[in-house]
Structure 1
Amino acid sequence: MSLAVNQGETAMQIKDIYQRLTDSLIEQVKARYKSRIRH
């Protein structure tokens, strides 16, 4: 991969990865919260 990558593209990739991480984190918290209520 060349260093001359469009910075806009890189920013979009970082945004996408960040969004996925955030979503999975939220899902984990929700699941933990639900299981805590059940007990």
Structure 2
Amino acid sequence: MLPVTSSTIVALARKLLVALWKYVSAGVIIEGAELTTA
């Protein structure tokens, strides 16, 4: 296994947070669009 440094953990956590934020914001936008068109 590769040696895990604090910078590696921070980079991975940041990627996860960005992916989660995009997923949540996209889900909210889709729900809002469905509510307005319904």
TM-score per shorter chain, which class?
Answer: 0.7 to 0.9
TM-score normalised by L of structure 1: 0.76
Give the counterpart of 1:24 among 1, 19, 22: 19
Q: State the one-letter code of the partner of 2:18.
A: D
Identity percentage of aligned residues? 21
Correspondence for 2:5: 10
Q: Give the aligned length.
A: 34
After superposition, the CA RMSD in angstroms is: 1.9
Superposed CA deviations along residues 1-39 of structure 1, whole A, max 9, x for unmatched, are 57xx5xxx7000000000000000000000000000001
- Stretches of structure 2 that go unaligned for 5 or more consecutive residues are none
- Stretches of structure 1 that go unaligned for 5 or more consecutive residues are none
TM-score normalised by L of structure 2: 0.78
